[in-house]
Structure 1
Amino acid sequence: MKMNWGTFILGAVAGAAGAVATQKYVTTSTYASADKALKEVKEAFKAEGPIDGSWIKMKPEPYKKAGINKLVYKGGVSRTIGQEREQYEFIADSHTGTIMDVYRTY
């Protein structure tokens, strides 16, 4: 039985191209935008009053709590109520942008 090298090479190239395209799709589509998570938090805080500032780490980082292992974005919001400055931090799921936790810092 004689092997057809042209068909073999064509199949290998097509397989490699498919693998590269799949990897590119998975790595670019598995994370929600950090800006999306920050926008969601800011809208929730603005519903209760003005905010002074906000921030978010653009690179997801590991988060482990109560058996949950995820990659998350961490950020914060500050505002002034009367004479008191309040600062909050939040944790958002990096895959969906959903806010997982918000807590006041002192």
Structure 2
Amino acid sequence: MNWKSFAVGAAVGAVGGIVLSGAAKDHKTASPEKVLKSVKERFKEDGKIDGSWISMKPESFKQHTFETQVFKGGISRRVDGELEQFEFIADVNSGTILDVYPL
């Protein structure tokens, strides 16, 4: 093997690695901690938060023909002295809240 072939192979490998690295970064999932923080900030607008949780392991979620991976979590707060509890579902890829429902 000559040096010219080696250099071309190394350059192609380096460029391929950079391209694949960039593609992998584009497919990162949302941080469960950031999703929970976002939900808590929205709920704090209406009352003090008593507790919150989020599952760190994504789960499969299917509604009608829509299927994705989600984080599930919950939050409780007090409004006018009454305890309110909610669960939420957030998209793993974007962190977007897909649903919030009372318990």
- 2:46 partner SS: coil
- 2:57 partner SS: coil
Q: Which residue of the other structure, out of 37, 62, 72, is the alignment partner of 2:70? A: 72
**Alignment map for 1:16-27 (pairs within 5 Å):** 18=16, 22=20, 26=24
> Relative to structure 1, is the Cα distance of residues 41 and 80 closer, same or farther in structure 2, using a 3 angstrom cutoff?
same
- Gapped regions of structure 2 (runs ≥ 5): none
RMSD: 2.9
How many residues were matched structurally? 103
> Relative to structure 1, is the Cα distance of residues 27 and 60 closer, same or farther in structure 2, using a 3 angstrom cutoff?
farther
| Matched letter for residue 63 of structure 2 | K
> Relative to structure 1, is the Cα distance of residues 94 and 40 closer, same or farther in structure 2, using a 3 angstrom cutoff?
same
- Gapped regions of structure 1 (runs ≥ 5): none
**Alignment map for 1:17-96 (pairs within 5 Å):** 18=16, 22=20, 26=24, 29-96=27-94
- 2:74 partner SS: strand
- 1:51 partner SS: strand
- 1:62 partner SS: strand
Displacement of 1:18 after TM fit?
A: 4.1
Percent sequence identity is 51
Return the alpha-carbon distance in structure 2 between the equivalents of residues 25 and 38 of structure 1: 26
Displacement of 1:33 after TM fit?
A: 0.7
Residue-by-residue CA offset, 1:23-67 (whole Å, 9 max, x unaligned): 696278420111111111101100011110100011211100011
Displacement of 1:82 after TM fit?
A: 3.7
